[in-house]
Amino acid sequence: MFLPFSWILATFDSNPIDSYFQGLVGACGISVLCNLMRVNNFIQTCSDSESETESKQQSSSPVNPLRGSWRSALQFWSVAVLLSLVGSRVSSLIVLEFCLRAVSAWAAARTDANGRGLDLLLIQCQFSLGCGLTCTLAFLHQGAPHSSLSLLLAAALSWALASVSHSLWIHVARLYPLHSTERYCGKCITILTSRHTILTSLQRAVVLAFALATVASTATVYEHFLSQKDALKFWTPLTLCYTMLVVYIQEDQNRQTGTEALLQTVVLRLGAILVLMLTVGDWSDVLHVLITFLGEAVCLLPSQDLLQAVLQEEEEEDTSLTKPRHKTRERTWRTSDDS
Protein backbone atom coordinates (compact mmCIF):
# COMPACT_ATOMS: atom_id res chain seq x y z
CA MET A 1 0.00 0.00 0.00
CA PHE A 2 2.81 2.39 0.85
CA LEU A 3 5.11 1.18 -1.95
CA PRO A 4 4.22 3.92 -4.53
CA PHE A 5 4.67 6.59 -1.85
CA SER A 6 8.10 5.21 -1.01
CA TRP A 7 9.00 5.33 -4.72
CA ILE A 8 8.01 8.99 -4.84
CA LEU A 9 10.13 9.80 -1.78
CA ALA A 10 13.05 7.90 -3.32
CA THR A 11 13.10 10.32 -6.26
CA PHE A 12 14.08 13.18 -3.93
CA ASP A 13 17.75 13.60 -3.03
CA SER A 14 16.90 15.40 0.22
CA ASN A 15 13.91 16.52 2.22
CA PRO A 16 10.90 17.07 -0.12
CA ILE A 17 10.28 20.47 1.49
CA ASP A 18 13.87 21.55 0.77
CA SER A 19 13.57 20.23 -2.78
CA TYR A 20 10.38 22.21 -3.32
CA PHE A 21 11.97 25.42 -2.02
CA GLN A 22 14.89 24.86 -4.38
CA GLY A 23 12.52 24.33 -7.29
CA LEU A 24 10.64 27.49 -6.34
CA VAL A 25 13.89 29.49 -6.43
CA GLY A 26 14.70 28.04 -9.85
CA ALA A 27 11.24 28.87 -11.21
CA CYS A 28 11.57 32.45 -9.91
CA GLY A 29 14.91 32.79 -11.69
CA ILE A 30 13.36 31.62 -14.96
CA SER A 31 10.46 34.04 -14.48
CA VAL A 32 12.83 36.98 -13.95
CA LEU A 33 14.77 36.03 -17.07
CA CYS A 34 11.68 35.77 -19.29
CA ASN A 35 10.07 38.95 -17.97
CA LEU A 36 13.18 41.07 -18.51
CA MET A 37 13.67 39.62 -21.99
CA ARG A 38 10.08 40.52 -22.87
CA VAL A 39 10.60 44.05 -21.51
CA ASN A 40 13.71 44.43 -23.66
CA ASN A 41 11.99 43.13 -26.80
CA PHE A 42 8.96 45.36 -26.25
CA ILE A 43 11.13 48.46 -25.83
CA GLN A 44 13.03 47.64 -29.01
CA THR A 45 9.74 47.17 -30.87
CA CYS A 46 8.42 50.52 -29.66
CA SER A 47 11.66 52.32 -30.48
CA ASP A 48 11.77 50.82 -33.98
CA SER A 49 8.16 51.83 -34.68
CA GLU A 50 8.32 55.43 -33.44
CA SER A 51 8.34 56.81 -36.99
CA GLU A 52 5.45 54.61 -38.13
CA THR A 53 1.73 55.17 -37.73
CA GLU A 54 -0.23 54.28 -34.62
CA SER A 55 -1.93 51.33 -36.28
CA LYS A 56 1.39 49.78 -37.17
CA GLN A 57 2.58 50.26 -33.63
CA GLN A 58 -0.40 48.40 -32.27
CA SER A 59 0.01 45.61 -34.79
CA SER A 60 3.71 45.20 -33.98
CA SER A 61 3.22 45.22 -30.21
CA PRO A 62 2.98 41.90 -28.37
CA VAL A 63 -0.19 40.39 -27.03
CA ASN A 64 -1.76 41.78 -23.88
CA PRO A 65 -0.08 39.94 -20.97
CA LEU A 66 -3.31 39.78 -18.97
CA ARG A 67 -4.80 37.37 -21.51
CA GLY A 68 -2.22 34.73 -20.62
CA SER A 69 -1.99 35.39 -16.89
CA TRP A 70 -3.41 32.00 -15.97
CA ARG A 71 -1.10 30.34 -18.50
CA SER A 72 1.96 32.04 -17.04
CA ALA A 73 0.87 31.04 -13.53
CA LEU A 74 0.36 27.43 -14.65
CA GLN A 75 3.77 27.45 -16.32
CA PHE A 76 5.43 28.90 -13.22
CA TRP A 77 4.08 26.31 -10.80
CA SER A 78 4.67 23.48 -13.27
CA VAL A 79 8.32 24.48 -13.63
CA ALA A 80 8.66 24.76 -9.83
CA VAL A 81 7.32 21.22 -9.35
CA LEU A 82 9.45 19.76 -12.15
CA LEU A 83 12.62 21.42 -10.84
CA SER A 84 11.92 20.09 -7.36
CA LEU A 85 11.64 16.56 -8.77
CA VAL A 86 14.91 16.65 -10.73
CA GLY A 87 17.79 15.48 -8.56
CA SER A 88 21.12 17.19 -8.11
CA ARG A 89 22.95 14.49 -10.10
CA VAL A 90 20.97 15.09 -13.29
CA SER A 91 20.83 18.85 -12.66
CA SER A 92 24.62 18.90 -12.52
CA LEU A 93 24.87 17.12 -15.84
CA ILE A 94 22.34 19.51 -17.39
CA VAL A 95 24.36 22.51 -16.18
CA LEU A 96 27.68 21.16 -17.45
CA GLU A 97 26.09 20.24 -20.76
CA PHE A 98 24.69 23.74 -21.17
CA CYS A 99 28.07 25.30 -20.35
CA LEU A 100 29.61 23.14 -23.06
CA ARG A 101 26.92 24.33 -25.47
CA ALA A 102 27.48 27.95 -24.44
CA VAL A 103 31.20 27.70 -25.20
CA SER A 104 30.41 26.13 -28.58
CA ALA A 105 27.86 28.85 -29.36
CA TRP A 106 30.31 31.57 -28.31
CA ALA A 107 32.98 30.12 -30.60
CA ALA A 108 30.48 29.92 -33.47
CA ALA A 109 29.27 33.50 -32.84
CA ARG A 110 32.81 34.83 -33.21
CA THR A 111 32.91 33.50 -36.76
CA ASP A 112 29.29 34.43 -37.51
CA ALA A 113 28.54 38.06 -38.34
CA ASN A 114 24.98 37.88 -36.97
CA GLY A 115 25.79 36.34 -33.59
CA ARG A 116 22.58 34.37 -33.80
CA GLY A 117 23.63 31.65 -31.38
CA LEU A 118 24.08 34.02 -28.45
CA ASP A 119 20.58 35.48 -28.82
CA LEU A 120 18.93 32.07 -28.97
CA LEU A 121 21.06 30.83 -26.10
CA LEU A 122 19.19 33.01 -23.59
CA ILE A 123 15.90 31.48 -24.72
CA GLN A 124 17.27 27.95 -24.50
CA CYS A 125 18.88 28.37 -21.08
CA GLN A 126 15.62 28.67 -19.14
CA PHE A 127 15.35 25.19 -17.66
CA SER A 128 19.14 24.84 -17.48
CA LEU A 129 19.22 28.06 -15.44
CA GLY A 130 16.64 26.62 -13.06
CA CYS A 131 18.70 23.43 -12.73
CA GLY A 132 21.77 25.55 -12.06
CA LEU A 133 20.05 27.42 -9.25
CA THR A 134 18.70 24.25 -7.64
CA CYS A 135 22.08 22.51 -7.96
CA THR A 136 23.89 25.47 -6.39
CA LEU A 137 21.44 25.64 -3.48
CA ALA A 138 21.70 21.90 -2.91
CA PHE A 139 25.49 22.12 -2.87
CA LEU A 140 25.59 25.12 -0.50
CA HIS A 141 23.06 23.67 1.95
CA GLN A 142 24.45 20.15 1.97
CA GLY A 143 24.71 19.10 5.61
CA ALA A 144 23.48 22.47 6.94
CA PRO A 145 21.58 22.21 10.26
CA HIS A 146 18.92 24.80 9.34
CA SER A 147 18.70 24.27 5.59
CA SER A 148 14.91 24.50 5.45
CA LEU A 149 14.86 27.94 7.07
CA SER A 150 17.57 29.35 4.83
CA LEU A 151 15.90 27.89 1.74
CA LEU A 152 12.62 29.46 2.84
CA LEU A 153 14.32 32.86 3.04
CA ALA A 154 15.91 32.31 -0.40
CA ALA A 155 12.53 31.35 -1.85
CA ALA A 156 10.90 34.46 -0.32
CA LEU A 157 13.59 36.73 -1.79
CA SER A 158 13.30 35.04 -5.18
CA TRP A 159 9.51 35.40 -5.06
CA ALA A 160 9.89 39.13 -4.40
CA LEU A 161 12.27 39.57 -7.34
CA ALA A 162 9.97 37.57 -9.64
CA SER A 163 6.96 39.66 -8.55
CA VAL A 164 8.82 42.91 -9.24
CA SER A 165 9.90 41.75 -12.69
CA HIS A 166 6.38 40.54 -13.53
CA SER A 167 4.78 43.80 -12.44
CA LEU A 168 7.40 45.69 -14.45
CA TRP A 169 6.57 43.68 -17.56
CA ILE A 170 2.83 44.28 -17.14
CA HIS A 171 3.42 48.01 -16.58
CA VAL A 172 5.64 48.28 -19.66
CA ALA A 173 3.26 46.30 -21.87
CA ARG A 174 0.32 48.48 -20.81
CA LEU A 175 1.67 52.00 -20.44
CA TYR A 176 5.17 52.31 -21.91
CA PRO A 177 4.08 53.65 -25.36
CA LEU A 178 2.17 56.44 -23.60
CA HIS A 179 4.56 57.19 -20.75
CA SER A 180 7.66 57.21 -22.96
CA THR A 181 6.25 60.14 -24.92
CA GLU A 182 4.64 62.02 -22.02
CA ARG A 183 7.72 61.64 -19.75
CA TYR A 184 5.91 61.68 -16.39
CA CYS A 185 6.38 58.07 -15.21
CA GLY A 186 9.50 57.30 -13.20
CA LYS A 187 9.60 53.62 -14.19
CA CYS A 188 9.27 54.28 -17.91
CA ILE A 189 11.80 57.12 -17.84
CA THR A 190 14.31 54.87 -16.07
CA ILE A 191 13.71 52.10 -18.60
CA LEU A 192 13.97 54.59 -21.48
CA THR A 193 17.33 55.87 -20.31
CA SER A 194 18.77 52.41 -19.55
CA ARG A 195 17.17 50.40 -22.35
CA HIS A 196 20.52 49.67 -24.02
CA THR A 197 21.93 48.04 -20.89
CA ILE A 198 19.04 45.72 -19.98
CA LEU A 199 20.12 42.82 -22.15
CA THR A 200 23.80 43.24 -21.27
CA SER A 201 23.08 43.25 -17.52
CA LEU A 202 20.83 40.22 -17.93
CA GLN A 203 23.55 38.33 -19.79
CA ARG A 204 26.08 39.12 -17.06
CA ALA A 205 23.71 37.89 -14.36
CA VAL A 206 23.09 34.64 -16.27
CA VAL A 207 26.84 34.12 -16.78
CA LEU A 208 27.44 34.66 -13.04
CA ALA A 209 24.69 32.20 -12.13
CA PHE A 210 26.12 29.53 -14.44
CA ALA A 211 29.66 30.18 -13.19
CA LEU A 212 28.57 29.40 -9.63
CA ALA A 213 26.51 26.45 -10.82
CA THR A 214 29.49 25.04 -12.73
CA VAL A 215 31.53 24.85 -9.54
CA ALA A 216 28.70 23.12 -7.67
CA SER A 217 27.97 20.79 -10.60
CA THR A 218 31.61 19.79 -10.97
CA ALA A 219 31.82 18.91 -7.28
CA THR A 220 28.56 16.95 -7.46
CA VAL A 221 29.56 15.01 -10.58
CA TYR A 222 32.96 14.18 -9.09
CA GLU A 223 31.37 12.99 -5.85
CA HIS A 224 28.70 10.79 -7.44
CA PHE A 225 30.28 9.64 -10.71
CA LEU A 226 34.05 10.25 -10.90
CA SER A 227 35.12 9.26 -7.39
CA GLN A 228 34.93 5.55 -8.20
CA LYS A 229 37.93 3.55 -9.34
CA ASP A 230 38.68 3.63 -13.09
CA ALA A 231 35.81 6.06 -13.64
CA LEU A 232 37.91 8.44 -15.75
CA LYS A 233 38.70 5.66 -18.22
CA PHE A 234 34.99 5.27 -18.85
CA TRP A 235 33.96 8.94 -18.78
CA THR A 236 36.72 10.29 -21.04
CA PRO A 237 35.47 8.71 -24.31
CA LEU A 238 31.89 9.53 -23.37
CA THR A 239 32.80 13.19 -22.82
CA LEU A 240 34.64 13.38 -26.15
CA CYS A 241 31.72 11.79 -28.01
CA TYR A 242 29.24 14.14 -26.35
CA THR A 243 31.41 17.15 -27.21
CA MET A 244 31.38 16.13 -30.87
CA LEU A 245 27.58 15.75 -30.66
CA VAL A 246 27.20 19.25 -29.18
CA VAL A 247 29.33 20.76 -31.96
CA TYR A 248 27.24 18.96 -34.59
CA ILE A 249 24.01 20.14 -32.97
CA GLN A 250 25.31 23.72 -32.87
CA GLU A 251 26.18 23.69 -36.57
CA ASP A 252 22.85 22.10 -37.45
CA GLN A 253 20.96 24.69 -35.40
CA ASN A 254 22.69 27.55 -37.23
CA ARG A 255 21.20 26.21 -40.47
CA GLN A 256 17.66 25.88 -39.09
CA THR A 257 15.20 28.28 -37.49
CA GLY A 258 11.98 28.09 -35.53
CA THR A 259 10.62 26.15 -32.60
CA GLU A 260 10.94 22.78 -34.32
CA ALA A 261 14.71 23.22 -34.51
CA LEU A 262 14.88 24.05 -30.79
CA LEU A 263 12.75 21.05 -29.82
CA GLN A 264 14.81 18.78 -32.08
CA THR A 265 17.96 20.05 -30.37
CA VAL A 266 16.44 19.35 -26.94
CA VAL A 267 15.52 15.80 -27.96
CA LEU A 268 19.04 15.10 -29.22
CA ARG A 269 20.75 16.55 -26.15
CA LEU A 270 18.54 14.95 -23.53
CA GLY A 271 18.45 11.72 -25.50
CA ALA A 272 22.24 11.52 -25.20
CA ILE A 273 22.03 12.21 -21.45
CA LEU A 274 19.33 9.54 -21.15
CA VAL A 275 21.61 6.98 -22.83
CA LEU A 276 24.39 8.04 -20.48
CA MET A 277 22.19 7.56 -17.41
CA LEU A 278 21.05 4.18 -18.69
CA THR A 279 24.73 3.23 -18.76
CA VAL A 280 26.12 4.66 -15.53
CA GLY A 281 23.11 5.97 -13.56
CA ASP A 282 20.32 4.63 -11.39
CA TRP A 283 16.66 4.23 -12.21
CA SER A 284 15.94 7.50 -10.43
CA ASP A 285 18.42 9.31 -12.71
CA VAL A 286 16.60 7.96 -15.75
CA LEU A 287 13.31 9.19 -14.29
CA HIS A 288 14.82 12.63 -13.66
CA VAL A 289 15.99 12.87 -17.28
CA LEU A 290 12.46 12.08 -18.45
CA ILE A 291 11.17 14.83 -16.15
CA THR A 292 13.74 17.16 -17.74
CA PHE A 293 12.10 16.53 -21.12
CA LEU A 294 8.84 17.91 -19.70
CA GLY A 295 10.63 20.85 -18.10
CA GLU A 296 12.29 21.89 -21.36
CA ALA A 297 8.96 21.68 -23.17
CA VAL A 298 7.16 23.72 -20.52
CA CYS A 299 9.83 26.44 -20.79
CA LEU A 300 10.26 26.54 -24.58
CA LEU A 301 6.70 26.20 -25.86
CA PRO A 302 5.35 29.39 -24.17
CA SER A 303 8.41 31.34 -25.40
CA GLN A 304 7.16 31.76 -28.95
CA ASP A 305 7.11 35.57 -28.68
CA LEU A 306 10.75 35.69 -27.62
CA LEU A 307 11.80 33.36 -30.42
CA GLN A 308 9.86 35.35 -33.03
CA ALA A 309 11.44 38.59 -31.79
CA VAL A 310 14.95 37.14 -32.20
CA LEU A 311 14.19 35.78 -35.68
CA GLN A 312 12.58 39.04 -36.77
CA GLU A 313 15.59 41.01 -35.59
CA GLU A 314 17.86 38.69 -37.56
CA GLU A 315 15.78 39.17 -40.72
CA GLU A 316 15.98 42.95 -40.32
CA GLU A 317 19.75 42.77 -39.88
CA ASP A 318 20.07 40.57 -42.97
CA THR A 319 18.00 42.97 -45.07
CA SER A 320 20.01 45.95 -43.81
CA LEU A 321 23.22 44.16 -44.78
CA THR A 322 21.99 43.20 -48.24
CA LYS A 323 20.60 46.62 -49.21
CA PRO A 324 23.99 48.39 -49.50
CA ARG A 325 25.23 45.53 -51.63
CA HIS A 326 22.35 45.98 -54.05
CA LYS A 327 23.05 49.70 -54.19
CA THR A 328 26.71 49.18 -54.99
CA ARG A 329 25.77 46.71 -57.70
CA GLU A 330 23.38 49.22 -59.24
CA ARG A 331 26.09 51.86 -59.21
CA THR A 332 28.56 49.54 -60.93
CA TRP A 333 25.94 48.67 -63.55
CA ARG A 334 25.24 52.34 -64.18
CA THR A 335 28.91 53.24 -64.52
CA SER A 336 29.45 50.35 -66.92
CA ASP A 337 26.46 51.44 -69.02
CA ASP A 338 27.67 55.05 -69.11
CA SER A 339 31.10 53.99 -70.25
Tell me the C-alpha distance between 189 and 195, whole Å: 10
Q: In which domain, by residue range, is 316 found?
A: 15-50+66-144+159-323
Range of lowest pLDDT (25-39, 43-57, 175-189, 310-324): 43-57
Residue 139 is assigned to a structural domain of this protein? yes
Q: What is the DSSP string of 139-168?
A: HHTTT-TTHHHHHHHHHHHHHHHHHHHHHH
Residue 6 is assigned to a structural domain of this protein? no
- Confidence (pLDDT) at 319: 65
Residue 331 is assigned to a structural domain of this protein? no
Tell me the C-alpha distance between 319 and 223, whole Å: 51
Q: Are 312 and 120 in contact (CB under 8 A)?
A: no
pLDDT in tens, 252-309: 665 565 667 777 778 878 888 888 888 777 888 889 999 999 999 999 888 888 888 8
Q: The whole model's pTM is what?
A: 0.83
Question: With bands split at pLDDT 50, 70 and 90, how would you rate the model's confidence at 147?
Answer: confident
Residue 181 is assigned to a structural domain of this protein? yes
Residue 297 is assigned to a structural domain of this protein? yes
Residue 58 is assigned to a structural domain of this protein? no
Residue 153 is assigned to a structural domain of this protein? no
The amino acid present at 17, given as its one-letter code, is I
Q: How many distinct structural domains can be found in the chain? A: 1
Mean pLDDT of 35-39: 92
Residue 338 is assigned to a structural domain of this protein? no
pLDDT in tens, 191-222: 878 778 888 899 999 999 999 999 999 898 88
- Confidence (pLDDT) at 339: 44
Tell me the C-alpha distance between 311 and 298, whole Å: 21
- Confidence (pLDDT) at 159: 96
